[in-house]
Structure 1
């Protein structure tokens, strides 16, 4: 464990805060945008999921490049709304001009966000939309319905006309990401919730170990399956471990597009992943935060940062890139 991780644990233990800083703190009171130095706070769902680590690191680098102050906090686990509320309040007290957040729940942090905006702080959603979307000033994210639809279209094509016998390993109930990806997948594969083709469904909160346990439980009920939906790549890795233990071969897709996930596809652990671009989300969010501090100008609406299917088994009618391209571009690295 590195010094930064040890510092995080020490801070959590000492002051009972959820998350830790990854860059310098600042002092002073909250100030509205316009004519000042950007003080950017980032609140992610967790500090452990590789996707949010990448998002945090990209935001940190973008802030440094533009001379902005930066602090990152996080929930202790996927679904820790109380921890995110405390993080927002912490950043308000520290004088943030912009708070960027990947909300655990589309509604669970709305009151805290409203208080921040009333104090003159711009609030941007990254990766995960709020409900309503107008609860934040703007959202920079993957179109998660489209990403889920792409996964579903791929799995349907790979089944080559066979009737789906599907297990769905979902994310965190109530999250817009979970809902949008789930619904998009069903649209892409041509099913609806409650269809008998869905053999089983369990939430795994985006966690690999939980996904493996949930998948093992589902397979005890029925192992007669040919397709698996996974909400993200840690979930897919957990599901794969459970499938491998039973020597089951299925068409499994996922969403994330991290370098490890692309390598998983290359190694045959699952057939395809839908790459998203957290570096782009972070860069665009920081750009907006710096502009707000200087000019008071705010972005608005939803900004789609894109998604691409990555697979070494392309399917007719389903646009995709191979894993060679994926390893060069994972999460927008290049």
Structure 2
């Protein structure tokens, strides 16, 4: 009997303690929600943005990643940067996107290696309400993403081609073409643009050799050395980007052909502009990865705040840089280039 009475006496105390504990839990939960909310987040969660580049080693994509991280931080957001293992690693980019989708990011910025290789993954991201923006390269079709901020890569190739043709000053063209990879949209667009600007077509006898380089210096140097084993009777080299131009220049210099061969490129990195200034190659076409990254991150932040989505293709610009200008083709010199370069 005594035991039963004691239990009944303690019941109100237990109830009071339980009520106080519940009230404390609710207060702590409310405080946590208030502390977790920021200017761009939703429901107390930090705004997270994903970036998927082609590689993590190319200076161009390193610059893009750093710029995106800086803009995200300025807006109180977090950037998760992933990449493929090499230019053309479509499977790596798909895996990176799937990882970002599982992390429930608000937006994904991607530089697609292959214009069609990531379409199903992009569609799944958009189905889940994730804003997807292409940077640097378009998907095929471009409407697969919400928007694109990129170089007009056909125009970049065309500028390089027009410059190298004019630099021949009427001499018969003897061309080597150093591309990226077979399944790269950018490689195809720049290649086709160069042919248009230079005034030839695939299969032309003016093309003395062609090789893929994965957009990297060492493979480009090896490829150029191999092509020169077949013929050294060349006067023009097209390169997809500045690392490739550096590799090509090294191989040409080793054969004592520097004064006979004019090399062009595309990128506009500070190292590339210095290479043009030193005479390693004659010209480069500057593009603007910082602008791409900045506009991409800003668009995701705006989407998180207001629900407003960007649409369509936005050309972020191209400028021909050379200290040996040609008639009829607008350009800037390397002093201007060093003031506006990246990296």
Short-chain TM bin:
0.7 to 0.9
- Is the helix fraction higher in 1 or 2? 2
Q: Number of paired residues?
A: 301
Query: What's the secondary structure of 1:160's corresponding residue?
Result: coil
Q: Does the alignment pair 1:331 with 2:342?
A: yes
Could you tell me which residue of structure 2 aligns to residue 253 of structure 1? 264
Q: Does the alignment pair 1:319 with 2:330?
A: yes
Q: Does the alignment pair 1:299 with 2:310?
A: yes
Which of the two has higher C-alpha Rg?
2
TM-score, normalised by the number of residues in structure 1: 0.88
Q: Deviations over 1:20-71 (max 9, x none)?
A: xxxxxxxxxxxx9999853210000110000000000010111111111211
Shift of 1:77: 1.1
Aligned counterpart for 1:215 among listed residues 217, 224, 227: 224
Shift of 1:331: 3.2
CA 313–35 in structure 1, closer or farther in 2 if over 3 Å, else same = farther
Q: Does the alignment pair 1:121 with 2:130?
A: yes
TM-score, normalised by the number of residues in structure 2: 0.85
CA distance in structure 2 between the aligned counterparts of 1:74 and 1:327, rounded to whole angstroms = 28
Could you tell me which residue of structure 2 aligns to residue 282 of structure 1? 293
Is the CA contact 1:38–1:98 (under 8 Å) kept in the aligned structure 2? Answer: no
Q: Does the alignment pair 1:143 with 2:152?
A: yes
Q: Does the alignment pair 1:65 with 2:65?
A: no
Is the CA contact 1:79–1:105 (under 8 Å) kept in the aligned structure 2? Answer: yes
Could you tell me which residue of structure 2 aligns to residue 4 of structure 1? none
Q: Deviations over 1:219-269 (max 9, x none)?
A: 111110000000000000010111011011311100000000000101111
CA distance in structure 1 between the aligned counterparts of 2:76 and 2:173, rounded to whole angstroms = 52
- Runs of at least 4 residues of structure 1 off by over 4 A? 32-37
CA 292–319 in structure 1, closer or farther in 2 if over 3 Å, else same = same
Alpha-carbon RMSD? 1.6
Query: What's the secondary structure of 2:86's corresponding residue?
Result: coil
Shift of 1:308: 0.3
CA 34–134 in structure 1, closer or farther in 2 if over 3 Å, else same = farther
Is the CA contact 1:261–1:273 (under 8 Å) kept in the aligned structure 2? Answer: yes
Aligned counterpart for 1:186 among listed residues 195, 200, 213: 195
Is the CA contact 1:98–1:122 (under 8 Å) kept in the aligned structure 2? Answer: yes
Q: Where does the alignment leave 5 or more consecutive residues of structure 2 unmatched?
A: 1-40
CA distance in structure 1 between the aligned counterparts of 2:43 and 2:51, rounded to whole angstroms = 20
Could you tell me which residue of structure 2 aligns to residue 7 of structure 1? none
CA 198–34 in structure 1, closer or farther in 2 if over 3 Å, else same = farther
Is the CA contact 1:76–1:83 (under 8 Å) kept in the aligned structure 2? Answer: yes
Query: What's the secondary structure of 1:331's corresponding residue?
Result: coil
Q: Does the alignment pair 1:40 with 2:40?
A: no
Q: Does the alignment pair 1:309 with 2:320?
A: yes
CA distance in structure 1 between the aligned counterparts of 2:198 and 2:85, rounded to whole angstroms = 34
